[in-house]
């Protein structure tokens, strides 16, 4: 990643450097999406082979029990994800947005959050939802078309999924400003907020404005960018010349790239970032370097635009396998444990399926509910008219 340095020393106007070559495509891509390496800046605590490694800045003391918990989380959310994907294939959901491959990034981040913290997801954060106590059962409704989001965002401290790319970053910045205005920032008990978005989202104006606001108002906000290498069919180099964590450089807050397939590193970095925020040193940007193993959504076919070799390479870096290897190799978990988690996953999948296929259809009148907190007579009139019309059918009038 030395290519950006080229730009840092402006050349004298008379010198021939004005014709200096562009960085080569290889240089750019190396910095953006090394399919096997995240570059030297990548924070990693657990290798793809399941070995613990040290990092000079980030440490994580973790008990075998906690490790098993993270493993369990990841297995369960993956299983729920696959089940939901299957439900879509079977016509039970209109759409599914898979998290496959991003379990470590999401569980690492989600488990770093405290109950008093707030989180603003994009639309793929089923793993973070899990950590916030939002059951997959509560998520499938919006993909089945029975609601636009079922959980209580205030009670769970987990905002509804946001589909318009980037919007949630500003909403999160405002929320985090409120945490500061409320005097909840400044010590170990401080609150913080984490907002999730993708590599593609970094191009949106709203994400930038959120950087500006969070920086200017010292908001306790962790920007958590899951760089899964793709924005539908577009690779990260369509969005940026530089690795995304470096975007923070221009705003005056830290940006860190973590191995998003390493749940331990993600947990450590996310915890540190949240600590910074709750103590008043926010915001912080984290780029979790990971990979979208499945298509963008069930409507997408990733084979149209990316090479299977790339997918194969990333398979070797699977976020769950490496924890499993680590647990096994160190005797932190035995067969019974792994079997138990499998059984739990089967159970979860069954519960999810059962719940999903039995979701009640919303009554037509629901359409008119909650447009306003204080009902509008004009809309009430529309509803009345529509219900009279429907009643006409019921009475066989038409």
Partner 1 sequence: MAAPTMDRSTDTPSAAPQKITMIKGLNQALRATMEADPKVIVMGEDVGKLGGVFRVTDGLQKDFGEQRVLDTPLSESGIIGTAIGLAIRGYRPVCEIQFDGFIFPGFDQIVSQLAKLHYRTQGRIKLPIVVRVPFGGGIGAVEHHSESPESYFAHTAGLKVVACSNPVDAHWMLRQAIECDDPVLFFEPKRRYHEKAELDPSIAPQPLFSSRVVRKGSTATIATYGPMVKTSLDAATAGAEDGLDLEVIDLRSLSPLDLAPVYESVRRTGRLIVVSEAPSEASITGEIAAKVQQECFYSLEAPVLRVTGFDTPYPPAKLEENFLPDLDRVLAAVDRSLAW
Q: Report the residue from 138, 199, 276, 294 that binds ligand TPP according to the rule CB under 6 A.
A: 199
* CA-wise closest residue to 49 among 291, 287, 259: 259
- Angle, nearest 10°, between helix axes 103-112 and 263-278? 30
Q: Which does 78 bind (CB under 5 to 8 A by kind): a second copy, Mg ion, ligand TPP, none?
A: none
Output the CA–CA distances (angstroms, integers) from residue 48 to 38, 168, 262, 321, 326, in the order listed.
Answer: 13, 32, 8, 8, 10
How many whole angstroms separate alpha carbon 233 and alpha carbon 127? 23
Q: Near Mg ion by CB under 5 A, which window of 22-30, 144-152, 168-176, 231-239? A: 231-239
Asked if 253 interacts with a second copy (CB under 8 A), we say: yes
Asked if 230 interacts with ligand TPP (CB under 6 A), we say: yes
* Site track 59-98 with a second copy (rule: CB under 8 A), x = hit: xxx-------------------------------------
How many whole angstroms separate alpha carbon 380 and alpha carbon 43? 56
Total residues interacting with a second copy, rule: CB under 8 A: 58
Q: Near partner 1 by CB under 8 A, which window of 32-40, 52-60, 129-137, 210-218? A: 210-218
338 close to 324: Cβ distance less than 8 angstroms = yes
Instruction: Give the active site residue among 305, 306, 355, 386.
Output: 305
Asked if 198 interacts with Mg ion (CB under 5 A), we say: yes
* CA-wise closest residue to 267 among 375, 106, 77, 35: 106
Placement of tokens 């950590």 in the chain: 131
Asked if 247 interacts with ligand TPP (CB under 6 A), we say: no
Beta bridge partners of 118: 193
Asked if 20 interacts with a second copy (CB under 8 A), we say: yes
Chain positions contacting a second copy, by CB under 8 A: 4, 7-14, 18-20, 22, 56-61, 187, 202-209, 212, 215-216, 218, 237-242, 246-256, 268-269, 271-272, 275-276, 279-281
Q: Which residues are catalytic?
A: 292, 296, 305
């Amino acid at each position: 990643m030395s290519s950006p340095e080229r730009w840092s020393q402006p050349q004298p106007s008379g010198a021939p450097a004005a014709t200096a070559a562009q960085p080569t495509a290889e240089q750019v891509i190396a910095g953006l999406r090394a399919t096997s390496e995240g570059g030297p800046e990548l924070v990693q605590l657990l290798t793809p082979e399941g070995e613990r490694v040290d990092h000079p800045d980030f440490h994580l003391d973790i008990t075998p029990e906690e490790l098993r918990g993270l493993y369990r989380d990841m297995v369960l959310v993956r299983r729920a994800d696959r089940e939901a994907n299957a439900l879509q294939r079977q016509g039970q959901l209109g759409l599914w947005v898979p998290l496959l491959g991003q379990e470590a990034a999401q569980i690492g981040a989600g488990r770093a959050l405290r109950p008093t913290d707030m989180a603003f997801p994009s639309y793929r954060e089923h793993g973070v939802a899990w950590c916030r106590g939002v059951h997959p059962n509560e998520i499938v409704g919006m993909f089945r078309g029975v609601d636009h989001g079922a959980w209580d965002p205030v009670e769970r401290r987990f905002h509804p999924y946001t589909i318009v790319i980037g919007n949630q970053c500003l909403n999160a910045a405002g929320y985090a400003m409120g945490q500061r205005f409320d005097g909840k920032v400044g010590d170990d008990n401080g609150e913080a907020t984490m907002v999730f978005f993708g590599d593609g989202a970094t191009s949106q104006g709203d994400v930038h404005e959120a950087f500006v606001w969070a920086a200017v108002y010292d908001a306790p906000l962790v920007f958590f960018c899951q760089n899964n290498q793709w924005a539908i069919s577009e690779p990260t180099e369509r969005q940026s010349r530089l690795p995304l964590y470096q975007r923070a450089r221009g705003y005056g807050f830290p940006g860190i790239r973590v191995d998003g397939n390493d749940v331990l590193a993600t947990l450590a970095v996310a915890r540190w970032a949240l600590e910074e925020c709750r103590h008043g040193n926010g915001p912080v940007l984290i780029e979790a370097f990971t990979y979208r193993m499945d298509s963008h959504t069930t409507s997408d076919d990733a084979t149209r635009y990316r090479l299977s070799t790339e997918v194969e390479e990333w398979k070797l870096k699977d976020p769950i396998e490496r924890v499993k290897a680590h647990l096994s190799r160190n005797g932190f978990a035995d067969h019974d444990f792994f079997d138990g988690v499998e059984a739990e996953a089967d159970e979860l999948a069954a519960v999810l399926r059962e719940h999903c296929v039995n979701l009640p259809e919303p009554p037509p009148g629901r359409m008119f509910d909650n447009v306003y907190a204080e009902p509008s007579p004009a809309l009430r009139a529309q509803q009345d008219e529509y219900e009279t019309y429907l009643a006409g059918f019921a009475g066989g009038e038409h």
